[in-house]
Structure formats: C-alpha cells, structure tokens
Structure 1
C-alpha cells in the first residue's frame, strides 16, 4: 500500500484553454465524428480514490474491467469533478454546470435538508437527450433531491431503479456470505439492520419499494443496468444509461467471495474497501460484456469516473499517495478522481492522457456526438473530451472550485487553496510538491495573485446558496492540515 506513483505524479500536464468555472470556450477541433448518434453509458462510482484504479499504474487494487475502458480510449490522469462532496458533484455532472452557479452549493443531508434538490430550471443530461430520441435509464444512487419534482423519471429518465439518499445499506448484514466491517469512524456501533427513509430501494415512476435486502446492491445495480442495455439495444432508439454505483462508499459490506481474494491485505477495513472495488469492477465488466455481446460497443460512448475522492475519516484510503484521500476538502485528493473515456468508433486508444478534464465536459461531449449540427447551449461550461484526449498544446486551462468558505484554483503546475474563515491563502507547485505541504506564495506572488483573482471573481459571481452550510471542520490528511466543508 505504501507506494507512490512517482512517474505519474511528476508527469507533464498538457492543459486546455477554457476554465471549467467560466463561460464555455470552443475547444480544439475534434476528429471527425460517427454519423450515427452513439449510445451513452456514464458510470459514476462513489468515494473511489485516484490511486485505486490500476489503469494509472497502482498495484494495491486490480481493476481489469475499468482498465478495459482505458485500453480502448483514454485514462485522464488529471480528471476533476465540480465539488469534493457527493450531491454537489453529481449536480455538476448531470447539468454540465458548476452547481454553485445555481445555488446547489452544499451537500444534501438526508435527514435535515427537506426540499433540497437539483432545480428544475437546470436540465439534466437525460432531459437534453430525450428530445434527440434517446431512451434513458438511471440505476443506483440519485442524491440530487427526493421530492417528486426532483425524482429521476421527472428529470428526463424513462426508467429508474435505486435510492434517493446519499448512502444506504448494501445488504442485510445477517445474509449468509456477507462481510460487514466496522471502520474507525463507527467502531463499536451496531451495523445498519435495515434501509430507512430515502435509503430504501425503489423503482419506476410510482416509487415501488423493491424487496431485495437479501441481495448485494452493487450486483443489483449491475443487473438492472445490463438488462436495460439488453432491452434498449434491441430497439431503434439510441440509449443513455446512467449507472451510479454507491460502491465503494461506506458502510463497508462485500460478499465473502470477494473478501477472500484479498487475504494478503491485513487491515480488514482496507481489505473490505478493496474487495468492494473489485466487486464493482466486475459489474463494469458485465456492462462492457453486454455492449460487446449486442454488437454495439464501437458506437457506445462509455465514461467512468468517481464523484469525489476517498474520505479519510473511515481509515480505508490509500494514504501512500497524495491524491488518495480528500473528500470534503479542496486538496487535490478531494476533486481529482479516476476519469476514463472511450468511444471506439470515434476515437483511437490514447492510453494515459495528462490533459486536464472536468466532469463538466461530459455533457458537451455527449451533445456534440448526439447532435453535431446543433449549437451548444451557451450555459454549458465544459469542453469536448475527444478534443482533450488529442490535445498537445500549452498548459493553460484554468480550473476553479469553491464551497464557501473554502475555494481552490489550478492552472498548470500552480494550485491555490483559500479559506475565507481561516483567513489563509496558500500556493503549491504540484510538479514539485504533489502533497501540497509547502506554501510557496511568498516566492511566487504573481502566480498566487492571478489564481486568487480567479477565485475572487468566481466567488463574487455566485448566487446565495439554496440551503445552508452544515459545518466546517479542521482535519489532518496525511500530514496536511486542511478544512472540511459539508
């Protein structure tokens, strides 16, 4: 586990020209596209740290099926999400906009934020694809609103199977063959014995309760995603499948057969987390297998990414790597995630690509492919992933994040972190200090001032949050004192 991926940490980043937190700028020209609208599968996983995908060279966890996406496309080593916490990040992916721009600033608390959700004024990927003739389905974790107006089948999805909360129990812990492992954050507490509230698994527009508490939820999500692809591929419509695994999010539960494969990992918490990743990876394999079986893999766009980094408080993150943890923070490990993309008909394999990309790029890429002659909606902020995969230009893309009171910005090797309530601003040189431990703002005032101006402009442009900040907290992550925002 104590292994730092030095070659990747110090690799040269080739950056794009449009800031992810500003109006969309035309990216470099992409290669010629397929004439037929592609099918689209977006696989979003939960709390998966950057180093725990073996496509990037890590050895702790083998993810052969996720790696298949990279083998036929690209593994972006500088892949980012819109926020370092679940609900906010998902809102960015689904809309192609920084969520803070429409007041979706803070996470949704399952019990204390009644009425919080993705505003109906913001169109989801599914709502943009439906008018283009797509059949759409969502499977797994939703977490962008539980009320009817936010419900998936009212937000462009024809089908839904999953749960609406931020977390739920994978399976009844009394089920034979299931390992449930307490973490240092909940040691001594009894495991969940049931699913409650918005953690109950439901399906369809009627919100039918699904009686499946004796079956492992990761497998259940895969089953429904595979069935959807099988049925949709027999029709004449292109399809969009949003597969939102809650793995490997806490609580830590996994079938014994997967746990047994990692006997060499002595820490049961880390072992369970790794086994959960492996079980999820097998589900990704089944999805890819179904696409190949149906003869549609070449013209299916597959995107794989995590919603944020790994949460250090549970004790299962890869603490040998600077990007191995950071959920709730604006260290790199909070927003820099595994991010893989493939569309064989339109893009040849590119391997590891250092060009920075954002989850905000997913929607523009899909729309460009589905309707290449239509003008891109001006409110979208991202760029085309295929153009990014081929880009060899200068380091110039600006990325800005923020959930007040904490903000961050990155351009090239320079990364700025700012806390308004701590009255601190720090500048780090990622090429020399990927752990973000040495503040060099005093020696590089121009770079610090430039990024701070970008943060200030972003912060001043935002509307008031639609619901309140829950709390901030001082935390230590791998020797780095930083601030949580929730």
Structure 2
C-alpha cells in the first residue's frame, strides 16, 4: 500500500488556484443535477466511452482543426460539453492503464502492454453497480479473455489480446489492425473466413450494437468501452477509399491516408450516436469521446491558422493534450465549453458518480477527481493542477511533471525545467530562476509541492 498525501499538502492543493477557469460560454439554463435526476427516475444511465488512438487536440474541426473532416465529432461537441484541457500520458499503454484504474502510473503500471488484473477498473466498478459491460477494440493489455473478464468486461472483441514480446512483433501484428483484422473473441481468434475483407472498426461497431441490443433482454444498463483502432499506424485506406479493395496488408505506407482515416473514425462515432438515437435511448445514454495521446510525429496539421507537428511520445502539449467531449442529455447544456483541467484518472470517480455508485477504496489510493459537478457549474474548478509519471518501457527515461493550464514544472531528474506552455508550446525556452516574477515563483513552488507528494 502506498502512503497517502499529507493533510498539509492536501490543504495546500485545495488552496492552489492558478489561471482562469471560467467557461468560454456561460450556461443560461441550468440542467438537472444528478441528485435531482435520481428523484425523477431510478434508471442508471448507459455509458459509451470511445477512445480514439493517436488523435491530438489539433485534429477535430470543433477545437480549431483545419486539415480534416469531423462533422459527427463536431456535432457531438455541439450537443454536449467540450473540455479544452484534457491531458494524458505521451503514449497509449500508460494512458489506458490510468484511464481504466483511476491511478497515476507510479502506483500500478507494470510494463508496456500490461495491466495488473488485481486492480479494480471502471468496468469492475460499473459491473458491481449492475451494468452489463463490453469492450470492443484495441486491448493491448495482455491476458486475452481471462484479463478482459477479470477487469470487469462481460463481452469482448479484441485486437492485440496478448501483448507481443517485442516491438517488432507488435509492429507486424499491427499490419492486421484494419483490413483482414486479427480479432479475439470467446477465448479464440476469429477464423480468416470471418474477417477476410472486413475492416476492424466496422466489426467493433457492429459488435457494440449487437451488445447494446442484448442488454434489453437482461434489463440492465450498459457500459461500452470502445478503444478504436483508428487512427494509429499503419496509415492505410479505409472501406470508403477506392484503394481498399486491392490493398495488401504490410504494403509500405505514408501519411497519405491519415485524413481518410480521421474521416472514417468520425463516421464510426456518428454511427454509434445515430444507433443510440434510433433505439430511443439517447436521453439516458452518456457518450464520451476522448483520445489516448497526441497525433503521431510526421503528421502535420493546420490548427487555428498554424501548422502543428504531431507530438506523440513526447511530454509537450502536442503529445498529451487531447480532445474530450461528453454528451448527457438533461444534465449537460448543449454547446458548453469547459476550461477545467482533466486528467485520465478522473474518469473513474466521475463515472462512479454518474452511475450513482461509490469508488471501491478498500485501502487503495486513487488519484482521480470527480468532475461530475462541473456538468452543472462549468466554472467550478475541481482540479488546479495535473500530474504525469511517464516511463512506458523499462529502459525508458523517467519523466515526471506537474502543470496548470499555463505553467509546467518537470522534476529534478529533468533539471526542474519550468515553462510557460501557453506561449512556449514546444517548451524550448525554460524560464530561468533569476527571471521569475513573484507570481511565477509562487506557482513553481506550488507545482514542486505536487511533485514532492507523487512518489511510491
């Protein structure tokens, strides 16, 4: 068991308020709160959590992206709340562990492509609360069906159910993440006769729709976790591209197909939204769209009039700043913009709150902050700092930092670099100690106090 944060430190963190946290759009009509809603209906809301792969904040049109077409994601943002400061880890496997377990990686990350199945996950939490649960998409957490069940999923259709031993093996398996996919269900890989010519994300969305249909028979609310294959390498044609029919997996590729893949990702999001609407359950279904990390290096996108290079794998903002949208009719006013900081561990306590259940503490320390109340008061700043502990591989350099919306401080291993990320997005001009203003000194000291508490 890990030591808890001291009372003094917690008090300091509660007082720590940095920068503007006001909404760009003021709420004119207050939605019904979760407590008020509970008195109107005993139904727990359904939850669909969509996690795109390698989509940075600069990609969707709604956030200011100008290189791609994302009408369905834009529509989701207009019908719900968009958070402008959602932060992840620089790479996917650590991000997914943080998301599912509600903890920073120094507490429970055991290695690339692995999850400690003794950890209580979001799916365990919701399963215990009476939800039918499903995961369909990129697993990359090892253990196959046994791990999926142990971590709380009743049904599954998985890509990368077992983590390859080497990066080269994983890259080879990635050739089958889209067309003719290698997918795992019911403790076995699907035969080629089932997957030949098929596209993975089509199969995932079909599986999800069938799962949702099945929950009507058991009269349970559902939780769907959809970690998309899109838009990770290899960049390749989608079924909407004429080249798809003759495409051979393993063909050398370049960035040409990335815009088409973004468009198809958007299509799949729209398909699930439309399905929920057609079934007549949209009013009681929470739909979340998020990404695991920034856009890959080598992908250059036009964002608010500037060319932005993808930062995946790096701790700069273009490596960790991702889109986050949540739609919950009658609880969230459409088109609301929220500038609060959100960290991936925050999703577990927030979904617990949405589902009307409690976190399974059992002596465990969780790092997430329940941001459910911000749906009803978007100016309520629940988190004034964000933290990340990044060491994706055993031989990777450990990088740790704490930040606000404006400033970022790395730990002493990384030379205690202090930067203004609002103006220095590439973090190339550290602020020297001798040049710190009184306000900057205070902010740096407060961020240092956060770093001092985040240890085993």
TM-score, normalising length: structure 1:
0.73
Flag structure 2 segments of 5+ consecutive residues without an equivalent.
1-18, 24-32, 244-252, 392-397
| Separation of aligned partners in 2, 1:439 and 1:237 | 53
Q: Does 1:341 align with 2:326?
A: yes
Change (3 A) 1:147 1:395: closer
Match of 1:448 in 2: 444
Q: Does 1:360 align with 2:345?
A: yes
Q: CA deviation at 1:191?
A: 11
Match of 1:431 among 399, 412, 422: 422
Alignment of 1:348-427 (within 5 A): 348-372=333-357, 374=358, 377=361, 379-389=365-375, 390-393=377-380, 397-404=384-391, 405-418=398-411, 420=413, 423-427=414-418
Q: Deviations over 1:390-439 (max 9, x none)?
A: 3325696111112252112112421123472xx52321123333332321
Change (3 A) 1:269 1:89: same
The structure with the greater share of residues assigned to helix is 2
SS in 1 for 2:211: helix
Q: CA deviation at 1:31?
A: 6.8
Match of 2:99 in 1: 93
| Separation of aligned partners in 2, 1:118 and 1:125 | 13
Match of 1:222 in 2: 205
CA contact (8 A) 1:330 1:417 kept: no
Change (3 A) 1:289 1:190: closer
Q: CA deviation at 1:254?
A: 1.9
Match of 1:252 among 235, 245, 248: 235
CA contact (8 A) 1:330 1:407 kept: no
Q: Deviations over 1:309-335 (max 9, x none)?
A: 1121xx224276587522222111222
Q: CA deviation at 1:252?
A: 0.8
| Separation of aligned partners in 1, 2:68 and 2:47 | 27
Change (3 A) 1:419 1:64: farther
| Separation of aligned partners in 2, 1:89 and 1:286 | 25
| Separation of aligned partners in 2, 1:286 and 1:33 | 28
Change (3 A) 1:326 1:167: farther
Flag structure 1 segments of 5+ consecutive residues without an equivalent.
1-11, 17-28, 109-116, 169-185, 261-267, 463-486
Change (3 A) 1:437 1:319: farther
Change (3 A) 1:285 1:88: same
Change (3 A) 1:210 1:129: farther
CA contact (8 A) 1:298 1:343 kept: yes
TM-score, normalising length: structure 2:
0.77
Match of 2:44 in 1: 37
Q: Does 1:327 align with 2:333?
A: no
Change (3 A) 1:132 1:457: closer
| Separation of aligned partners in 2, 1:394 and 1:288 | 29
Q: Deviations over 1:264-289 (max 9, x none)?
A: xxxx9444111101111111111001
SS in 1 for 2:213: helix
Match of 1:242 in 2: 225
| Separation of aligned partners in 2, 1:413 and 1:154 | 40
Q: Does 1:309 align with 2:294?
A: yes
| Separation of aligned partners in 2, 1:299 and 1:62 | 28
Match of 1:180 in 2: none
Match of 1:203 in 2: 185
CA contact (8 A) 1:55 1:75 kept: no
Change (3 A) 1:71 1:308: same
| Separation of aligned partners in 2, 1:249 and 1:394 | 33
Match of 1:153 in 2: 149
SS in 1 for 2:49: strand
